[in-house]
């Protein structure tokens, strides 16, 4: 099984702090409501309003085909025919639960056996990641068609810079938030919650205030009334460990944290985390919304059907190796990149992995050059043991001007990015 991999690094938009037009910065955090479960309910509308959890098995196309053949459509499956949590035996955890299931105390990451004790009648649906990813792409495409400065934060959430978007300043951003909410609802049938605030930190907290289907607007002057009463753990960046330490130090709420001096926080939490805690407790966060990412490396790897030995299967391995280099070169050329750090990855039959890389003077996107340098890497690893996986990677990428055989100028890169983002806007949603 061969697959391609693209590693990316973030590139910030240039909207930092107050903008050139002196509009106050308005940043939204949008998070889908009970995401995996809501996507499932689109195909099983008969489960609306019921406690439903997603977890355990994987949904397969074969299962689905069989159910459709049996019932003439997924929407026709009677409630009695669905699996119930009470009959689950195993070590699986819940990915998410519908809001009716949350009334029983069910939620993400809870063991299913424990959840079954709390709500045995809850309906249990298998997981279908491909479908959630597809809906994830759809709702994000809706957002960028309305507000183009969007930062992808995972399968069901994004930050959006509202500052310069029509409606983004009206009622603190509520008008634009409602427009986006409706557009997502009509394109996908899914609901979401939005928080709008002066920065990402506060927006992230605000999006949780009125879930599901909520819009919460926070202004800088709301800090004391809306943010300070919350427990410290509500700050994205204060995890279980830091939270426990704070509790031991008598700090429960964000107000308690804000009451501590900067030197005190630095003394107890270290220089950089202490300083960050101080700023966060005072609602300060200058992070820009990161709209695009540039790949830092591209790679191809393959897991062999049977383990291969370097001597015994020399010809076969060599052919696979060359093919991997060609595939990486094709990826680079198609996407317009070149790199000068060439690396390999091997996994032995005992699952131990090794990597080697060599950085050369000249950037390349040519299969022959990649093959030659990757070959040098290969000579630097032990090859006594049989191999189960082989991979080739090109890193240290730059946007490459193939005609001039040199990296593109910053200006041309900016234009290329602009064209790419325009393409995104014209993509069909489905
Ligand atoms: P969340 O946004 O945390 O949760 P949610 O969308 O289900 O519910 P809410 O309305 O509170 O936002 O996570 C998004 C999806 O990520 C969620 O539907 C399932 C998945 N997920 C897991 O698989 N495991 C987890 O522990 C969490 C937190 C989420
Ligand atoms: Mg969510
Ligand atoms: Mg989320």
Per-residue pLDDT for the chain (430 aa), expressed as one digit of tens each?
455 665 655 544 444 444 446 899 999 999 999 999 999 999 999 999 999 999 999 999 999 999 999 999 999 999 999 999 999 998 889 999 999 999 999 999 999 999 999 999 999 999 999 999 999 999 999 999 999 999 999 899 999 999 999 999 999 999 999 999 999 999 999 999 999 999 999 999 999 999 999 999 999 999 999 999 999 999 999 999 999 999 999 999 999 999 999 999 999 999 999 999 999 999 999 999 988 767 788 999 998 989 999 999 999 999 999 999 999 999 999 989 999 999 999 999 998 999 999 999 999 999 999 999 999 999 999 999 999 999 999 998 898 998 889 888 655 555 455 444 433 332 222 2
Task: Output the CA 157–ligand 3 centroid distance in Å.
Answer: 5
34 lines ligand 1 (CB under 6 A): yes
Q: Is the CB of 89 under 6 A from ligand 1?
A: no
Q: Is the CB of 38 under 6 A from ligand 1?
A: no
Predicted local confidence at residue 411, as pLDDT = 52
Question: What whole-number distance in Å separates Cα of residue 169 and Cα of residue 11?
Answer: 25
CB of 155 sitting under 6 A from ligand 1? yes
CATH superfamily of the domain spanning 296-421: DNA polymerase, Y-family, little finger domain (3.30.1490.100)
Cα 142 to Cα 156, 162, 166, 188: the distances in Å are: 13, 15, 16, 9
Looking at residue 295, its pLDDT comes to: 74
Just give the CATH number of 35-126.
Answer: 3.40.1170.60
Nearest CA to ligand 1 atom 10: 33
pLDDT in the model for residue 257: 98
Mutate which of 35, 55, 100, 127 to test ligand 1's pocket (most atoms within 8 Å of Cβ)?
35
Q: Which residue is catalytic, options 157, 330, 361, 366?
A: 157
Q: Are 2 and 302 in contact (CB under 8 A)?
A: yes
Indicate the Cα dihedral angle 85, 90, 58, 305, nearest 10°.
-170
- Which alpha helices (H) appear in 171-269, and where do they start and end? 174-188, 200-206, 240-248, 254-259, 262-269
**From CA 128, how far away is CA 113, in angstroms rounded?**
21
pLDDT of residue 238: 95
The reply to whether ligand 1 has any atom less than 6 angstroms from the CB of 32 is: yes
Query: Can you give the residue ranges of every domain in the chain?
Result: 23-32+131-224, 35-126, 230-281, 296-421
Please give the helix or strand (H or E) that residue 302 lies within, else none. Answer: strand 290-308
Which ligand 1 atom is at minimum distance from the Cα of 33? 10
Q: How far is the CA of 373 from the centre of ligand 2 (A)?
A: 45
Is the domain spanning 230-281 CATH 1.10.150.20? The answer is yes
Q: Which of 291, 290, 336, 298 is nearest to 7 (CA)?
A: 298
pLDDT at 21: 61
Q: State pTM to two decimals.
A: 0.71
Tokens representing 423 are 């393409």
Domain 23-32+131-224 identical in fold to domain 230-281: no
Helical pair 174-188 and 129-146, crossing angle rounded to 10 deg: 140
Which run of H or E residues covers position 282? none
Nearest protein Cα to ligand 1, atom 8: 34
Question: Within a 10 A sphere around the Cβ of 92, how many other Cβ atoms?
Answer: 16
153 lines ligand 1 (CB under 6 A): no
CA of 393 to the centre of ligand 1 (A): 33
**Going by C-beta distance under 8 Å and a sequence separation of 6 or more, which residues neighbour residue 253?**
228, 229, 230, 231, 232
96 CB under 6 A from ligand 1? yes
Q: What is the predicted pLDDT for the residue at 419?
A: 45
Is-catalytic flag, 157?
yes
Its CATH class, for the domain covering 23-32+131-224, is alpha beta
From residue 207, give the alpha-carbon distance in Å to each of 128, 147, 234, 286, 331: 26, 17, 11, 18, 38
Six token digits for residue 337: 């990149």
Q: Which atom of ligand 1 is nearest to the CA of 212?
A: 10
- The CA 107 to ligand 1 mean position distance, Å, reads 9
- Mutational test site, ligand 1, from 37, 95, 129, 184, max ligand atoms within 8 Å of CB: 95
Ligand 1 mutation pick, 39, 112, 156, 211, max ligand atoms within 8 A of CB: 156
**CB-CB contact of 249 with 268 (8 Å):** yes
pLDDT of res. 424: 34
Copy the structure tokens of residue 379.
Answer: 């000579």
Regarding the beta carbon of 151 and ligand 1, being less than 6 Å apart is answered no
Atom 21 (ligand 1) nearest CA: 95
Chain position carrying tokens 């040098």: 376
Please give the span between the terminal C-alpha atoms of the chain, in angstroms, as a whole number.
Answer: 28
Could you identify the atom of ligand 1 that is nearest to the CA of residue 37? 18
Q: Tell me how far the alpha carbon of residue 183 lies from the centroid of ligand 3, in angstroms.
A: 19
**CA 40 to CA 118: how far, in whole Å?**
22
CA of 290 from ligand 2 middle (Å) equals: 20
Structure token pair of residue 363: 């950037």
Tokens (6 digits) for 28: 């939204």
Ligand 1 binding pocket includes 31 (Cβ within 6 Å) = yes
């Amino acid at each position: 099984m061969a697959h391609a991999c693209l590693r990316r690094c973030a590139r910030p938009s240039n909207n930092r702090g107050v903008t050139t037009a002196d509009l106050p910065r308005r940043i939204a955090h949008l998070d889908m409501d009970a995401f995996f479960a809501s996507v499932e309910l689109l195909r099983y509308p008969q489960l609306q309003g019921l406690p439903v959890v997603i977890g355990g098995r994987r949904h397969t196309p074969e299962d689905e085909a069989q159910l459709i053949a049996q019932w003439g459509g997924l929407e026709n499956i009677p409630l009695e025919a669905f699996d119930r949590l009470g009959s689950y035996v195993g070590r699986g955890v819940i990915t998410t639960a519908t809001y009716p299931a949350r009334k029983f105390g069910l939620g993400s990451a809870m063991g299913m056996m424990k959840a079954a004790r709390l709500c045995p009648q809850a309906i249990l649906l298998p997981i279908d990641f491909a479908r959630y990813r597809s809906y994830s792409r759809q709702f994000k495409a809706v957002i960028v068609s309305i507000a183009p400065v969007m930062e992808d934060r995972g399968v069901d959430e994004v930050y959006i810079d509202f500052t310069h978007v029509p409606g983004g300043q009206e009622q603190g951003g509520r008008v634009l938030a409602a427009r986006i909410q409706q557009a997502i609802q009509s394109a996908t049938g899914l609901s979401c919650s939005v928080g709008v605030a002066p920065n990402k930190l506060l927006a992230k907290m605000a999006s949780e205030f009125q879930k599901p289907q909520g819009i919460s607007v926070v202004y800088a002057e709301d800090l004391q009334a809306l943010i300070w009463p919350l427990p410290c753990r509500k700050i994205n960046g204060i995890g279980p460990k830091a939270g426990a330490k704070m509790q031991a130090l008598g700090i429960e709420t964000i107000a308690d944290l804000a009451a501590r001096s900067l030197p005190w926080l630095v003394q107890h939490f270290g220089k950089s985390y202490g300083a960050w805690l101080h700023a966060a407790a005072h609602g300060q966060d200058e992070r820009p919304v990161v709209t695009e990412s540039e790949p830092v490396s591209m790679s191809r790897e393959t897991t062999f059907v049977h383990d291969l030995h370097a001597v015994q299967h020399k010809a076969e391995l060599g052919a696979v190796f060359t093919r991997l280099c060609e595939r990486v070169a094709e990826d680079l050329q198609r996407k317009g990149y070149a790199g000068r750090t060439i690396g390999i990855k091997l996994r032995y039959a005992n699952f131990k992995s090794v990597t080697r890389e060599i950085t050369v003077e000249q950037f390349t996107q040519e299969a022959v050059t990649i093959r030659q340098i990757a070959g040098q890497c290969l000579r630097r690893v032990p090859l006594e043991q049989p191999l189960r996986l082989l991979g080739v990677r090109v890193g240290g990428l730059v946007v490459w001007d193939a005609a001039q055989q040199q990296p593109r100028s910053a200006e041309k890169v900016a234009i290329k990015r602009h064209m790419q983002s325009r393409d995104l806007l014209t993509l069909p949603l489905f």
